[in-house]
Chain A
Amino acid sequence: MVLLELKGVRKVYQQGKVEVAALRGIDLNIEEGEFTSIAGPSGSGKTTLLNMIGCLDTPTEGQIHFAGKETARSSKEELAMIRRHNLGFIFQDFNLVPVLSVYENVEFALKLLNGKKKREIKEQVMNILKAVGLGELANRRPNELSGGQKQRVSIARALVKEPKLVLADEPTANLDSETSHDVLEVMLDMNQKLNTTFIFSTHDPLVMEYANRLIKLKDGQTISDERKRFDSN
């Protein structure tokens, strides 16, 4: 089932008097449960594309349908609500709140949703923390964690509300290869258990290796789109 559909998406930035096209007509369909990697050199438009998909930015031209809803022309408030309920983000720099504990950082995403009881929230947060291997560290502050642990918190925060889609921008850029492996395993595990769709923007060959679909961009255009059989071994 198609979760995301992009048709002729263009994004042009105005830099002084010069117009710079970051995306030059992207057509793309993402199925539910896909573990997709968007790769390409710097300036190829990966992050811009991820921002369009993540409702953080709107295209200059084209259409984006997310879960059947057109988002390209939505208002700021509508986009915020789509992000709140349907999207999870994992950042390169983790972007955790240093004054909140691991538990509270994850709780933050759930607190924004309606209709959750305190007990439910606690159960959900603890479950996801256990799933990413941080059940014992719930009361720690981010500054007491390693890079890999911080990224796991970030993953837990993105996944706790069980979003339809998780977007990860260079999730392994600040991690060593062993930790990157661990973190990708966690995400893959979540993808398989919860059928959550993941889209990565990355330079990292390891991430591309894990992905079951690899989209390559160059100069704001898709130059290849390959699906591969995922081999967990």
Chain B
Amino acid sequence: MGKLSVMREKDLIVIKAEEGRRMFLIRLALKNLTRHKRRVLITASIIAFGIAVFLIYDSVQIGINKLSFNNIRNLETGDLQVVNKDYWKEREELPLKNLVSQRKELMITIKKIPNFKAMAPQLKFSANLNNGLDQLPIIAYGVEPRLHQEVFTTEKYLVEGSMLSSGKYEAVLGKRLAKLMEFKVGDYLTLLFKTGEGTFNTIDARITGLLHTNNPEVNKNFVYIPLDIAQQALNLKGKVSQIVVNLGQNEKTEEITKRLTQKLSQKDKDLTAHSWREFAGEVIALSKAENVEKSVMMSVILLIAAVGIVNTIILSSLERTKEIGMMKALGLREREIILVFVIEAVGIGLIGGLIGSMLGSFGILYLNIYGVKLASLGGISDWGLPIMGRLYGYWNPSAFIFVIAFGLIVSLLASILPAYWAARKDPVEAIYDRY
């Protein structure tokens, strides 16, 4: 027992001494940062620039995603949609077969799902918009005006006139589309389309309102008309393409959608539910592509930073060759000398990280408060995203943690080889610095 406790005491002394030694070397490494302040600052600035750009880019990307996803949910898809399975397969072609019947039983099933807020039936069909001189292909939406307002925020974007009324030959469309077709509020438009039976028909409707939303798709491609008018003209009474549901939040949407599909299949095998994410596949894919883009950008910037770190450590070790020799003469082991250089590099990374985070924070703060006009970022329609108007930046604390940690790791990894090279110097050659 006595021997064991003496051994433990000895071990403790060695461990404490090791800690004290390490702390001294870390202090030395941090003091070394003050030797060539300008060089350290230049290397740290490269890291800071990379980190600031990454943080601002990340903030903008979150803003873009939030804006696009909200635009899709609030103006196009709602939180989830109930459709016929076969319709779902051909939905891109806007077929007028395999539609959903507006049955009371179905409505009750939908209403019973958790977080249910509202639902709105829609009848979507392809049509040509005609002004008497020209015509343009558009997507016509037969909507129930009152229910539509409970699910979508379309009315918020009404810039002229008013929304639709049921049972009247009225239409609402994007201001951009109206301008293109030289329509104004009060004018009559003509929709030319094929009915469910394949015969041609038209609807003449008075334009009651013009929209200017954040979703360019809505502004240039959509024409809204009352559902009953659409059903009558298409000869599809009681039929709709889909029932759109508002859940008020979207965290549990996927789970609720799955549950609803299960419930629907018990009553009608042909019906299924799909979340907005399935409609927004392209936008999500774009968002994922942006993530890849962000990673590539980050890698390039940090590669430059790594070169800076390697350069700094090599220069430092060349300048301090005699000092390395002295350290070796004092009895420092190679790994202890490596520690000094690695900590120095990590210190540069930390300075870069802190400056970068500060610069990034200023940028994000500005974007968060004032935002940026999307038009000023160049042709937004070229981005292929359903967004317009003003884009705001969002805070993402995890990005700060990630990017600083990443900066430190890159600094650490980049310094290991040059530090090893410095520590491996022959003590005699280092002391006399002959080479």
CB of A7 within 8 Å of the partner chain: no
Are B333 and A80 closer than 8 Å at their CB atoms?
yes
Q: Is the CB of B326 within 8 A of A89?
A: yes
Rounded to whole angstroms, the CA-CA distance of A215 and B68 in the bound complex is 87
For A91, list chain B residues within 8 Å (CB).
322, 326, 329, 431
Q: Is the CB of A111 within 8 A of B322?
A: no
CA distance A109 to B326 in the complex (A): 11
Find the residue from A81, A107, A114, A115 having the highest chain B CB count within 10 A. A114
Is the CB of B325 closer than 8 A to any CB of chain A?
yes
| Complex CA distance for A111 and B13, rounded to whole angstroms | 13
Given B13, B331, B334, which contacts A112 in the complex, CB threshold below 8 Å? Answer: B331
Of A57, A85, A108, A111, which contacts B428 at CB under 8 A? A57
- In angstroms, Cα B36 to Cα A99, docked, is 11
> Of residues 1 to 33 in A, which have CB atoms within 8 Å of B's CB atoms?
none
Q: Bound complex: CA of A118 vs CA of B322, how far in Å? A: 28
Q: Which residues of B contact A113 (CB under 8 A)?
A: 17
Chain B, interface size category, equals 20 to 34
Residues from chain B with a CB closer than 8 A to the CB of A77 are 333
Assuming the contacts A99-B31, A114-B17, asked whether A108 and B427 have C-beta atoms less than 8 A apart, the reply is: no
Residues of B within 8 A of A76 (CB): 334
Number of A-B contacts (CB under 8 A): 76
Chain A residues contacting B331 (CB-CB under 8 Å) are 80-85, 87, 112
With A83-B331, A95-B325, A108-B330 as known contacts, state yes or no: A47 contacts B17, CB within 8 Å: no
Q: How far is the CA of A108 from the CA of B329 in the complex (A)?
A: 12
B34 within 8 A of A: yes
From A80, A99, A114, B28 is in contact (CB under 8 Å) with: A99
- Judge whether B239 is part of the interface by a CB distance below 8 angstroms: no
Query: When the two chains form their complex, are residues B326 and A111 in contact, meaning their CB atoms are under 8 A apart?
Result: no
B180 in the interface (beta carbon within 8 A): no
| Smallest beta-carbon distance B40→chain A, Å | 12
- Return chain A residues, CB-CB under 8 Å to B431: 56, 91, 95
- A residues at B contact (CB < 8 Å): 47, 51, 54, 56-57, 76-77, 80-85, 87, 89, 91, 93, 95, 97-100, 107-109, 111-116, 118, 157
Nearest CB to that of A93 among chain B residues? Answer: B322
CB proximity of B215 to chain A, nearest CB, Å: 60
Residues of B within 8 A of A100 (CB): 28, 31
Chain A proximity mask over B321-355: 1 for CB below 8 Å, otherwise 0 = 01101101111111000000000000000000000
Write 30 A-B pairs (CB below 8 A) sorted by A numbering: A51-B428, A54-B329, A56-B427, A56-B428, A56-B431, A76-B334, A82-B331, A84-B331, A85-B331, A89-B326, A91-B322, A91-B326, A93-B322, A95-B322, A95-B326, A95-B431, A97-B323, A97-B326, A98-B35, A99-B31, A99-B35, A108-B28, A108-B330, A109-B330, A111-B20, A111-B24, A112-B21, A113-B17, A115-B14, A116-B20
